[in-house]
Every structure is written in C-alpha cells, then in structure tokens.
Amino acid sequence: MEFTEVVRSRRMVRRYDPDRPVPRELVERCLANAVRSPSAGFSQGWDFLVLRTTGERDAFWAATTQPGAPSDPWLDGIRAAPVLVLCLSHKDAYLDRYAAPDKGWTDRDEARWPVPYWDVDTGMASLLILLTATDEGLGSLFFGVPPERHEAVHESFAIPASRTIVGVVSIGYAVSGPKSPSLRRHRRSGHEVAHWGRFGVAGEDAS
C-alpha cells in the first residue's frame, strides 16, 4: 500500500480468525520495522516478547485475567488473535546511555527526564508494528495490561524486573463484527488540533 493508505486503513481490530495463523515471516517483518523507530540517544530501550503458540497465549491470558471470571465479547475476540507481542521498555538503557561520555549526565538522575522517553519510544515502535501489520493485510490492536497483573506477566514469562510492559499488540486476520461505539465520536481533524505560533491560534489566523 501507499503510506497514506496504510495510515488511513489502520484500525484497532478486536476480532480475529482463530483458524488462520500468521506466518512467522510477517511477524518478523513487523519487528524489523519496529526497530526503525526513533529513540533518544539511539538508546533503543525496547524489547518485544512474541507469543505464538496456544500454550504461550493461554499463559498470558491466565496471568492477565481473574480466575473464574466470566468472559465477554471484547475479550473473546482478542483471545482469538494468533499472535501477541508484548512491548517492553528498558529505562536503564536510557539512564546508562545519557551517562556515557558523549552525553555527560553521569549521575543517571531520573529527574532529568520529565517525560519517560523509554516508554514514549517503545510506544512509537509499537505503532510501526501496527502500521506494518496493516500493510501486510493483517489486523492488529494495541491494548494495555491491568497494573495489578504486571507482576504475574513478568513471572509467567521470566521478564526481567528492569523491563516495563508498555502494552501488547495482538496480530491476526480480522473478521467482521460490530464496530466500536467509540467510533461514533468525532475524529478531530488536523485543523482542529493544530496551533500555529501560539496555543489557540488556528491555521487560517496565523501569519
């Protein structure tokens, strides 16, 4: 697809065909593009844990849901995704990088980071996974893990404590279903969100 078509076609897909596996090479293509994302100081403080087998995915859902709790259409749809990619950020990679001689912040003080770029950069890398999946004819969704379930996920997959779960990307072949009610909300246009020169100045008012 052309890039603009990929951007316009991307959707958060919550229903997948459970009988149609995603070829490994397509997953690898998503990850190969993810690492082209920008990162502060070229720190590249991200890791991606790919879950493809039934056992791996079942372990994830067991770690992230309440035992014995009833399911719902939203969860049933996402459970059918044949691939889950856990997007992990690594704060220490940034603190170490900016303590290097060419950066000079030898104290590794987190206060120098008013925005957690390790999470921001991992989020941008995750978006490239979503866009690549769209380009390959796949459906995908970015969703979070409940805070109280992070420790269980770390334990289930031997994720180091130094890694933070930023979110999860589900990947698969989409099946049709009801649209999210959130789509009834107005999509803000570029003109509505842009401020020119000073907050509150619309494009047509800018000199």
Q: Is the pLDDT of residue 71 over 80?
A: no
| Residue 88 resides in a domain | yes
Give a yes or no: residue 183 inside a domain.
no
Domain of residue 144 covers 3-177
Count up the domains in the chain and report the number: 1
Q: What percent of the chain has pLDDT over 90?
A: 77
Average pLDDT score over the chain: 93
80 in any annotated domain = yes
55 found inside a domain? yes
Query: Is residue 193 situated within a structural domain?
Result: no
What are the pLDDT digits (tens) for 18-65?
A: 999 999 999 999 999 999 999 999 999 999 999 999 999 999 999 999
Contact 132, 28 (CB under 8 A): no
Contact predicate 96/110, CB 8 Å: no
Extract the tokens encoding 31.
């990850």
118 close to 125: Cβ distance less than 8 angstroms = no
- In a domain? residue 187: no
Q: In the β-sheet with 139-143, what is the strand arrangement from edge to edge? A: 46-51, 83-90, 163-172, 139-143
CATH number of the domain that 137 lies in? 3.40.109.10
Least confident of 124-128, 138-142, 173-177: 173-177
Q: Is 182 part of any domain?
A: no
